[in-house]
């Protein structure tokens, strides 16, 4: 069984990405699993090309620095020719109504004067990502489950109409990861694309930046630390981050401290140590342009080789060659 997971370079990788997904990919990923930087998906709305390019390189370095086998990581745009061809095949398999009813398209296009066509056709590209690599499972949150269901529909339709080519994937909910909230507003998740970075710990932040952000984290009324997510979400967030870094349960960890300040100091120490090796390795990779380019090239070649026979078969069966 192989899995495929991607991360979009809409911003710098943050602590929530690391604790919730990237660390698990490195520790639990199988030899046939693939992970990719979904930079083409970052073009469906207005973006800065130079920033997108820089963020894609940064995310590639972070995935490798986290311990994922470099041979199982690639950048989506390095397969533009393959994905472009397969996306067209799948657009010729999909109908307008199926694409237009996607919830994300409705939400992101609502109230917009000029909506890019790519926002509508994005699910076909996502389907191409999955079907090109023959993934059996696609770990996704609820917001992306509908897209995987469309991928299944397109795979079945193509296979029944033209011939068996594609593995029909399953959408699976990933194991529950750390629930990391914004430090300045614990009612919302930590996000790469937030406009206010004060509450977001990025994995490449300097240790002093990490400590400063955590010390300024919002806490709640009271003086004795307790893990009470419903009534004290700020303190609960800090304790959950500490538990994800050190182990143990948030409730048990709360009993070790007599003040909020002590909790913040412990969380800062734990986060800095958790991120230290990743940060050092990622910065080394980013400084060594030649090495990172070579790793990127090798990952793209493996992904291309893995999917080329499926693309060739799909094109042949649909009548394109």
Predicted confidence pLDDT, tens digits, the chain (321 residues): 899 999 999 999 999 999 999 999 999 888 899 999 999 999 988 889 999 999 999 999 999 999 999 999 999 999 999 999 999 999 999 999 998 888 777 777 776 777 788 888 989 999 999 999 999 999 988 778 899 999 999 999 999 999 999 999 999 987 666 679 999 999 899 988 777 889 999 999 999 999 999 999 998 877 789 999 889 999 999 999 999 999 999 999 999 999 999 999 999 999 999 999 999 999 999 999 999 999 999 999 999 999 999 999 999 999 987
Dist CA 211 CA 201 (whole Å): 9
Pairing state of beta strands 73-75 and 4-7? unpaired
| Whether the Cβ atoms of residue 15 and residue 52 lie closer than 8 Å to each other | no
CATH superfamily label, 207-284: Tyrosyl-Transfer RNA Synthetase (1.10.240.10)
Exactly one of 189, 213, 264, 297 is catalytic; name it.
189
Residue 192 designated active-site: yes
Residue 156 designated active-site: no
Exactly one of 3, 192, 213, 264 is catalytic; name it.
192
* Percent helix, percent strand, percent coil in the chain, to nearest 5: 60, 5, 35
Q: From 38, 7, 42, 1, select the one nearest 24 (Cα to Cα).
A: 7
* Domain chopping of the chain, boundaries: 4-178+289-318, 207-284
- Which H/E stretch holds residue 261? helix 260-287
Residue 108 designated active-site: yes
| Predicted model pTM | 0.92
The hierarchical CATH code for the domain 4-178+289-318 is: 3.40.50.620
Q: CB neighbours of 126 closer than 8 A, spacing ≥ 6?
A: 41, 144, 147, 151
């Amino acid at each position: 069984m192989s899995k495929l997971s991607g991360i979009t370079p809409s911003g710098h990788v943050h602590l929530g990405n690391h604790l919730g997904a990237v660390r698990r990919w490195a520790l639990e990923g199988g030899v046939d699993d693939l992970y990719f930087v979904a930079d083409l998906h970052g073009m469906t709305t207005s973006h800065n090309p130079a920033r997108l390019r820089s963020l894609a390189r940064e995310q590639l370095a972070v995935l490798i620095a986290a311990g994922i086998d470099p041979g199982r990581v690639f950048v989506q745009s390095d397969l533009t020719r393959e994905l472009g061809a397969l996306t067209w095949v799948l657009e010729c398999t999909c109908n307008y109504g199926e694409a237009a009813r996607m919830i994300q398209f409705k939400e992101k296009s609502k109230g917009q004067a000029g909506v890019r066509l790519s926002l509508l056709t994005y699910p076909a590209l996502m389907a191409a990502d999955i079907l090109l690599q023959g993934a059996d499972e696609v770990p996704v949150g609820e917001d992306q489950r509908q897209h995987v269901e469309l991928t299944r529909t397109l795979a079945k339709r193509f296979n029944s109409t033209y011939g068996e080519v594609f593995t029909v994937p399953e959408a699976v909910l990933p194991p529950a990861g750390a629930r990391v909230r914004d430090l300045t507003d614990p009612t919302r998740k930590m996000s790469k694309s937030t406009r206010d970075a004060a509450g977001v710990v990025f994995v490449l932040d300097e240790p002093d930046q990490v400590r400063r952000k955590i010390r300024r984290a919002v806490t709640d009324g009271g003086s004795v630390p307790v893990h009470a997510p419903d009534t004290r979400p700020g303190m609960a967030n800090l304790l959950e981050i500490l538990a994800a870094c050190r182990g143990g349960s948030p409730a048990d960890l709360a009993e070790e401290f007599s003040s909020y300040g002590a909790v913040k100091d412990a969380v800062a120490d734990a986060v800095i140590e958790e991120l230290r090796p990743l940060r050092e390795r990622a910065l080394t990779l980013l400084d060594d342009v030649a090495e990172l380019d070579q790793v990127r090239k090798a990952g793209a070649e493996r992904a291309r080789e893995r999917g080329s026979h499926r693309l060739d078969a799909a094109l042949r069966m649909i009548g394109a060659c």
